[in-house]
């Protein structure tokens, strides 16, 4: 799990930075937030003054004859993590949360965001901005209809609206006598001017063959073969997501945080390969690796990134059909292709192909998880010794686990911002500590660590929750119910091609049973040195059906506001299941190898099947990670691993239902069967 | 469950009606089917000669300058069961299966249908018709693109294509230089002429107040209140589904099989109520009940059914917004409303409101299920005595259970064609026997009965599978796994507003675990003397979220081709669940009250929770049905009920996992806990 699902909101847990003097801040749970209802308004120091930039933006709007301008929180590739030069909404509003849309009219300015960010927005925005505590296009359009006159023009950057988002605005505005106007020059960028951070320019490099599942030539041939087999015979595939181009050519860079990608598009036609990027960033070796000096069907022509729209438009003049995945294509590309020349699927053939890992990719991803487990275990061992000393805080802890990962072979940094959360902070979805604001780890509190690494061979993501003291009965119950959810889904046997959505409730049942639940998804795909949240694999309604060779996280949780948070996340490979009667069935093989915290498991809640599963998993951890720890002379960690993977034995049941098992079973033993 | 989900295909089990002489039939599992590859072709007696009607249809197509004409299997209201005068596809092709689309070009004619109907189609269609073993619009359009020239016009009746179906044809044909042409006069009807069965004309009657949850005036006010609260302020709601108008006005008739509906549309505006139907079918009392002689906002103006399209078109000229449910609105209505005057949801507010039963409706539906259980129990008792005599067959059995239901108070006939299937016939989805072709019931075979009744207070649907002799171990295992699925879903506790799709796998898990499954849905909504398959409640992806007050069937099954079939179907009410920790949780309360067959339950596969649930259910059956049987002096049935609802006790486990429970539990008793 990471930021884009929930975003990161450390401000929610700040100890009140008291405000001296008047006017008083609004009392919002001890937070120092703006108060626009006093005169003058109260503005905390964290607020950004946006008056000048708003005036400049409205001037730009006037030159385009716009009544309103939409500023979404995204970039041209729908990246989960976006570069600083794409943080337009944050720059114009002052509000830096990772989700939320701004709209500016000639008189008003407003931000729509979800509950994670309400306090943050009130701390960062000045009184030029209304805060709307809603999400989706409907409330925005409702507001627009009251704020702008009939005949009004609503401008937007077509590279910042996905096809779906554009359609929902278009549909909502239909018949309203307000018009959506696509403007390819971003108006915020014009105002931002020279202050706007530059686009990255580090080298784009090719992965070593040892870390790739297939050569780029094999991948190109595979996609072309899918084009040929496609009923509508597309002549080209257009790739808009950065991970698509990175995967296709086995190229990597570091243009955006946490994901090893570079700004690019690819137009793969039946007779050419056109890669749109900044050519100056390719070394001569990489250009040669790409066969970029020739012009045949297996030569990669590098064209300038900024030319993509014009080039697609020109290509679309021919007798062509361009295959796109609508989920990752922006309206700015879509609008230049005549509808009858579009072949659309939700996900491009590259996204679909990438989702199923071949045997080499599976082996690579598994290997990275073994080393990743070593780093996390080193950290857990270190915590066990140091937390009681009272010297560890969330931030220094996060730094240490990142450091341990960095010492692993093939490491290329964290795969997302480490969530290191103690006590009540762990109940905040995707909380991350800062150097300035963090909480001390303590033997009296639970601690949640959700972290992952990028390695040349794979991307990892694992969450463990621990308690070094005496957890409460409720904490143990909640932890055990989360664990049961993880186990129930991990050991589920289900027919091939079942969608994740159909089975994710198995991860929730044990919680539901007691009236508990969690508010986030149950898992997501993961890549080979690619995205930590790799679509379209996962358990949500827009994920594709499960197939052998896919990897997904399994991560139920439970969060008690103001008290604690629990999440147990593993990455699992989808494998064939052996069933009593023959059939095409799948199950999961967990490839995360970090023991759960025995201190938090209430064994009496576990069924014999759960115990059997858990002990088999412990055995696997010993077999996979033990030798690696020994090889590395990490003997203390090896000892810790042995202790924490001792087989669990059933304890006397303490619930009514298990009591009845006893009675029934004992009667059966005594021959009292019916 | 009933026919429309799977359709009914008794032909699959016919003993071969041997063909004397040449040419020989194709050998299709002993079936007598056509063989178009011989010269002359072999045609069984069941085939219909369609040469003349096809010629006449092509003449009609020529006058419209059409290259192709689409003939779907539906009516103008997307009814599950359609009237004889709407059986256009059956009439023009000879093929009477309940699913499948025909397309006629100037040279060819073809039918697309699913595997249930392939044999039936080969038995009924002459060699004018190609059979395509595919479904959906894509294969039809692919075929059209090869069969008709560029510039070709593809005609269709806009009242026989839903908006979605029209959109999928439109999308698939985009850019192909073939045009979809809406022709409001149905060309098959022109050819059918005076042979076409008449439209029903029986009286349309009002339900007694005792059988309605609210008056029509209350319902109208409720829908108008939703219009007022709606963000887009619709001025009218258009109702296209027959059940919508029947529900809104508490009116019933019998225009189509099994569903008590009449051909109608309703345009409910903010100031008027316009009911489109055949006015001559209303008695003066019913007209008076509807306030049809006045013109105010609470007066129902009856307008002629045939005027609906013109009237909607005229209404849409004004400053209006018409709210429709796209799922039940045909393209013929949709195309006359300007897009900007449409307010669309998947389901109309009537469909959404009807889905949640108020307390009176809940009580009515439950009461009908008690009487329905009496009828089914009478039949099961009778079978237990008569099957061993060898005098019962599937058809006479079906007649008898229909007769028993008919003797119950408020009975209004079966709610679908009774599925009475013995032995291997039960593996055929929705098999129904005929007088001519049926199988004898035997103590050596399993027997599946899926049947339901229409009563003035409610609609019922229940399935039980029984065996009067010695079932095989596999039959018992499969039955018990189906039962576990039924129990696991019925006793599930889940958060309010969970979609059925998210939880239906609980009904499958016990089967999946052994590599078994079933190929149909897990359940559907049900009405108060309305549809036996009442949308939008259920467990499929296009069903709406579960809410307190909804009723749904729960019906896992297992089918072993050529051997036997099992289905256990109950109707359940969605109720609030009490959980250990407070929260808004739901669960199911089963309202079908027929015992499962103890002879088929392998108790050793059941957990203590399953047994506890089952015994509680048996107790409920005794409490609900017992007094009714006694009151009616059905003492033999009462005795049978007591026997079949004796509490089940656990037997000695015979599986490895339960053995481990025993060991663990016994050790625990002896103080050996870990």
Residue A533 falls inside a structural domain: yes
How many other CB atoms are found less than 10 A from the CB of residue B457? 24
Element (DSSP H or E) covering residue A396: helix A394-406
Burial grade of A44 (CB within 10 A; 0-12, 13-18, 19 or more): middle
How far is the C-alpha of B263 from the C-alpha of B240, rounded, in Å? 9
Mutate to test the interface with A, among B512, B579, B584 (most CBs of A within 10 A): B512
β-bridge pairing B322-325 and B453-455: unpaired
Residues of A in contact with B651 (CB under 8 A): 668, 673-674
Residue B245 falls inside a structural domain: yes
Six token digits for residue B435: 């007088």
Is A576 found in the same domain as A620?
yes
Distance from CA of B580 to the nearest CA of A (A): 5
Is A605 found in the same domain as A580?
yes
Whether the Cβ atoms of residue B92 and residue B15 lie closer than 8 Å to each other: no
Is A614 found in the same domain as A504?
yes
Pairwise CB contact (< 8 Å): A650 & B662: no
- Residue scoring higher pLDDT (A14 or B147): B147
Whether the Cβ atoms of residue A593 and residue A623 lie closer than 8 Å to each other: no
Element (DSSP H or E) covering residue B71: strand B68-71
How far is the C-alpha of B421 from the C-alpha of B439, rounded, in Å? 8
Torsion angle (degrees, nearest 10) of CA B647, B651, B655, B659? 120
Pairwise CB contact (< 8 Å): A661 & B665: yes
Q: What are the backbone angles phi and psi of residue B92, rounded to the nearest 5°?
A: -75, -25
- SS3 of residue B544 by DSSP: coil
Residues of B in contact with A230 (CB under 8 A): none
B655 touches chain A (CB under 8 A): no
The CATH number of the domain holding residue A266 is 3.40.350.10
Find the residue in B nearest to A493 (Cα). B513
Considering only CB atoms, B585 lies closest to which of A492, A512, A662, namely A512
Longest dimension (CA), chain B: 91
How far is the C-alpha of B362 from the C-alpha of B633, rounded, in Å? 27
pLDDT, residue B430, reads 67
Peptide bond into A279 cis (omega under 30): no
Looking at residue B162, the DSSP 8-state letter turns out to be: B
Q: Is residue A663 predicted with pLDDT exceeding 80?
A: no
Mutate to test the interface with B, among A484, A519, A563, A661 (most CBs of B within 10 A): A661
Considering only CB atoms, A512 lies closest to which of B176, B338, B493, namely B493
DSSP per position, A20-35: -SSSPPEEETTEEE-B
Considering only CB atoms, A651 lies closest to which of B138, B666, B674, namely B674
Domain boundary among B136, B163, B195: B195
Q: What are the backbone angles phi and psi of residue B146, rounded to the nearest 5°?
A: -90, -25
Q: Beta partners for B111?
A: B102, B131
How would you write B483-509 as a 3-class SS string?
A: HHHHHHHHCCCEECCCEHHHHHHHHCH
B268-304 b/e (C-beta count within 10 Å ≥ 16 → b): bbeebbbbbbbeebbeeebeebbbbeeeeeeebbbbe
Six token digits for residue B456: 């003035």
Residues of B in contact with A608 (CB under 8 A): 657-658, 660-661, 664
Q: Is residue A657 predicted with pLDDT exceeding 90?
A: no
How far is the C-alpha of A435 from the C-alpha of B442, rounded, in Å? 78
Pairwise CB contact (< 8 Å): A650 & B674: yes
Distance from CA of B283 to the nearest CA of A (A): 43
CB pairs under 8 A between A and B: 159
Distance from CA of B132 to the nearest CA of A (A): 17
How many other CB atoms are found less than 10 A from the CB of residue A271? 10
Residues of A in contact with B666 (CB under 8 A): 665-666, 669
Q: From residue A389, give the alpha-carbon distance in Å to each of A347, A385, A392.
A: 51, 8, 8
How far is the C-alpha of A202 from the C-alpha of A286, rounded, in Å? 13
How far is the C-alpha of A623 from the C-alpha of A625, rounded, in Å? 6
Q: Which is nearest to A552 in space by CA: A576, A527, A517, A529?
A: A527
Its pTM stands at 0.90
The CATH number of the domain holding residue A483 is 3.90.230.10
- Where would I find the H helices in B387-438? 394-406
In angstroms, how far is CA A349 from the centroid of its own chain? 21
Whether the Cβ atoms of residue B132 and residue B110 lie closer than 8 Å to each other: yes
Six token digits for residue A180: 């959506």
Find the residue in A nearest to B581 (Cα). A515
Q: Which is nearest to A443 in space by CA: A470, A474, A478?
A: A470
Whether the Cβ atoms of residue B522 and residue B554 lie closer than 8 Å to each other: yes
Considering only CB atoms, B673 lies closest to which of A509, A583, A652, namely A652
Find the residue in A nearest to B504 (Cα). A502
Is A132 found in the same domain as A270?
no
How many other CB atoms are found less than 10 A from the CB of residue A651? 17
Looking at residue A653, the DSSP 8-state letter turns out to be: P
Residues of B in contact with A667 (CB under 8 A): 650
Burial grade of B40 (CB within 10 A; 0-12, 13-18, 19 or more): exposed
Find the residue in B nearest to A606 (Cα). B661
Q: Which is nearest to B445 in space by CA: B471, B419, B464?
A: B471
How far is the C-alpha of B652 from the C-alpha of A664, rounded, in Å? 9
pLDDT, residue B313, reads 98
Q: Is residue A249 predicted with pLDDT exceeding 90?
A: yes
Indicate the pLDDT class of residue A430, thresholds 50, 70 and 90: low
Provide the percentage of residues in chain A whose pLDDT is more than 70: 92
Is A109 found in the same domain as A191?
yes
Pairwise CB contact (< 8 Å): B651 & A673: yes
Residue A73 falls inside a structural domain: yes
Residue A18 falls inside a structural domain: no
Residue A651 falls inside a structural domain: no
Q: A523 lies in which domain range? A: 359-645
Is A188 found in the same domain as A105?
yes
Is A247 found in the same domain as A299?
yes
pLDDT, residue B175, reads 81
β-bridge pairing A109-112 and A129-132: parallel
Q: Beta partners for A572?
A: A552, A590
Is A514 found in the same domain as A567?
yes
Whether the Cβ atoms of residue A580 and residue B515 lie closer than 8 Å to each other: yes
Residues of A in contact with B673 (CB under 8 A): 649-652
B279 touches chain A (CB under 8 A): no
Q: Is residue A429 predicted with pLDDT exceeding 80?
A: no
Whether the Cβ atoms of residue B433 and residue B10 lie closer than 8 Å to each other: yes
Six token digits for residue B236: 């009218």
Residue B636 falls inside a structural domain: yes
pLDDT, residue B431, reads 82
Looking at residue A652, the DSSP 8-state letter turns out to be: P
How far is the C-alpha of A453 from the C-alpha of A405, rounded, in Å? 7
Considering only CB atoms, B493 lies closest to which of A513, A650, A674, namely A513
Q: Is residue A28 predicted with pLDDT exceeding 80?
A: no
The residues in B 499-518 lying below 8 A from A, measured between CB atoms, are 501-506, 509, 512-517
DSSP per position, B99-131: S-EEEEESS-EEEE--GGGHHHHHHHB-TTEEE
Consecutive sets of 10 residues in chain B, 674 residues long: mean pLDDT of each?
34 26 45 91 95 98 98 96 96 95 98 92 96 95 95 98 95 90 98 96 97 98 97 95 98 97 98 98 98 96 98 98 97 96 96 98 98 98 97 97 98 96 89 90 97 98 98 98 98 98 98 97 98 97 96 98 97 98 98 98 96 98 98 98 95 49 43 38
Find the residue in B nearest to A342 (Cα). B175
**Residues with Cβ within 8 Å of residue A103, at least 6 apart in sequence:** A68, A69, A70, A71, A109, A110, A112, A140, A143, A144
Is B573 found in the same domain as B496?
yes
Domain boundary among B338, B354, B370: B354
Whether the Cβ atoms of residue B574 and residue A630 lie closer than 8 Å to each other: no
Pairwise CB contact (< 8 Å): B662 & A669: yes
How far is the C-alpha of A215 from the C-alpha of B66, rounded, in Å? 51
How far is the C-alpha of A419 from the C-alpha of A394, rounded, in Å? 9
Considering only CB atoms, A609 lies closest to which of B653, B657, B669, namely B657
Pairwise CB contact (< 8 Å): B517 & A505: no
Pairwise CB contact (< 8 Å): A506 & B504: no
Is B156 found in the same domain as B269?
no
Q: What are the backbone angles phi and psi of residue B224, rounded to the nearest 5°?
A: -65, -35
Distance from CA of A321 to the nearest CA of B (A): 10
How far is the C-alpha of B321 from the C-alpha of B370, rounded, in Å? 44
- SS3 of residue B590 by DSSP: strand
Pairwise CB contact (< 8 Å): A580 & B514: yes
Number of domains in chain A: 3
Is B224 found in the same domain as B173?
no
Considering only CB atoms, B648 lies closest to which of A498, A652, A674, namely A674
Computed over every residue of chain A, the mean pLDDT equals: 92
Pairwise CB contact (< 8 Å): B668 & A657: no
Q: Which is nearest to A174 in space by CA: A182, A183, A166?
A: A166
- Residues B556-587 have pLDDT tens digits of 999 999 999 999 999 999 999 999 999 999 99
Considering only CB atoms, B175 lies closest to which of A340, A492, A668, namely A340
**Residues with Cβ within 8 Å of residue A455, at least 6 apart in sequence:** A368, A371, A372, A408, A409, A410, A411, A412, A529
B138 touches chain A (CB under 8 A): yes
Q: Which is nearest to A263 in space by CA: A316, A307, A212?
A: A307
A353-389 b/e (C-beta count within 10 Å ≥ 16 → b): bbbbbeeebbebbbbbbbbbbbbbbbbbbbbeeebee
Pairwise CB contact (< 8 Å): A515 & B585: yes
Looking at residue B647, the DSSP 8-state letter turns out to be: P
How far is the C-alpha of A25 from the C-alpha of B290, rounded, in Å? 61
- Residues A527-554 have pLDDT tens digits of 999 999 999 999 999 999 999 999 999 9
Residue B16 falls inside a structural domain: no
Residue B415 falls inside a structural domain: yes
Domain boundary among B140, B160, B195: B195
Find the residue in B nearest to A488 (Cα). B509
Is A318 found in the same domain as A295?
yes
How far is the C-alpha of A432 from the C-alpha of A415, rounded, in Å? 14
pLDDT, residue B6, reads 30
Considering only CB atoms, B505 lies closest to which of A502, A581, A650, namely A502
């Amino acid at each position: 799990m990471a930021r884009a699902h929930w975003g990161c909101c450390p401000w929610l847990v700040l100890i009140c930075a008291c405000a001296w003097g008047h006017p008083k801040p609004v009392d919002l749970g001890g937070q120092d937030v703006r108060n626009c209802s006093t005169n003058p308004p109260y503005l905390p120091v964290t607020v950004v003054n946006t008056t000048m930039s708003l005036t400049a933006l409205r001037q730009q709007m006037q030159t385009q004859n716009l009544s309103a301008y939409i500023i979404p929180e995204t970039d041209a590739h729908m990246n989960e993590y976006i570069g600083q030069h794409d943080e337009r909404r944050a720059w114009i509003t002052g509000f830096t949360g990772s989700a939320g849309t701004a709209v500016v009219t000639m008189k008003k300015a407003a931000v729509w965001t979800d509950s994670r960010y309400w306090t943050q927005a009130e701390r960062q925005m000045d009184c030029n901005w209304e805060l709307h505590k809603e999400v989706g296009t409907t409330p925005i359009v409702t507001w627009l209809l009251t704020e702008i006159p009939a005949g009004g023009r609503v401008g937007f950057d077509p590279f910042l609206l996905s096809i779906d988002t554009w359609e929902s605005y278009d549909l909502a505005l239909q018949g309203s006598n307000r018009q959506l106007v696509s403007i390819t020059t971003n108006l915020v960028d014009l105002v931002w001017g020279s202050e706007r951070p530059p686009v990255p320019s580090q080298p784009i490099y090719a992965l070593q063959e040892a870390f790739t599942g297939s050569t780029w030539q094999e991948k190109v041939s595979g996609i072309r073969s899918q084009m040929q087999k496609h009923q509508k015979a597309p002549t080209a595939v257009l790739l808009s997501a950065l991970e698509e181009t990175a995967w296709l050519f086995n190229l990597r860079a570091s243009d955006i945080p946490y994901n090893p990608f570079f700004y690019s598009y690819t137009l793969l036609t039946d007779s050419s390969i056109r890669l749109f990027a900044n050519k100056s960033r390719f070394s001569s070796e990489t250009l040669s690796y790409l066969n970029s000096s020739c012009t045949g069907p297996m030569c990669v022509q590098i064209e300038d990134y900024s030319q993509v729209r014009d080039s697609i438009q020109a290509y679309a003049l021919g007798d062509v059909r361009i295959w796109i995945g609508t989920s990752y294509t922006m309206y700015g590309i879509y609008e230049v292709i005549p509808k009858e020349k579009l072949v659309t699927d939700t996900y491009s053939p590259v996204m679909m192909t990438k989702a199923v890992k071949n045997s080499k990719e599976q082996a690579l991803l598994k290997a990275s998880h073994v080393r990743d487990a070593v780093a996390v275990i080193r950290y857990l061992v270190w915590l066990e010794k140091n937390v009681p000393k009272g010297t560890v805080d969330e931030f220094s802890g996060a730094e240490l686990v990142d450091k341990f990962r960095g010492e692993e072979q093939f490491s290329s940094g964290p795969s997302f911002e480490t969530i290191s959360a103690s006590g009540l902070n762990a109940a905040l979805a995707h909380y991350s500590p800062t150097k300035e604001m963090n909480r001390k780890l303590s033997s009296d509190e639970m601690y949640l660590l959700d972290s992952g690494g990028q390695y040349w061979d794979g991307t990892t993501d694992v969450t463990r929750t621990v308690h070094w003291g005496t957890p409460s009965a409720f904490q143990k119950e909640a932890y055990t119910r989360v664990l049961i959810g993880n186990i129930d889904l991990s050991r589920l046997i289900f027919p091939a091609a079942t969608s994740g959505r159909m089975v994710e409730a198995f991860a929730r049942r044990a919680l539901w049973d007691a009236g508990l639940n969690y508010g986030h998804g149950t898992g997501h795909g993961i890549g080979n040195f690619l995205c930590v949240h790799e679509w379209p694999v996962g358990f949500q309604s827009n994920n594709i059906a499960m197939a052998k060779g896919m990897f997904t996280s399994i991560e139920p949780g439970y969060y008690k506001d103001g008290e604690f948070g629990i999440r147990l996340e593993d990455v699992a490979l989808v494998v064939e299941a052996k069933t009593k009667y023959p059939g095409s069935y799948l199950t999961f093989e967990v490839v995360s190898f970090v023991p759960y915290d025995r201190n938090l498991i209430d064994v009496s809640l576990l069924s014999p099947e759960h115990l059997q599963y858990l002990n088999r998993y412990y055995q696997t951890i010993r077999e996979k990670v033990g030798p690696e720890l020994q090889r590395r002379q990490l003997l203390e960690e090896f000892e810790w691993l042995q202790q924490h993977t001792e087989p669990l034995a059933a304890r006397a049941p303490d619930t009514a239902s298990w009591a009845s098992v006893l009675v029934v079973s004992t009667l059966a033993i005594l021959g009292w069967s019916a």
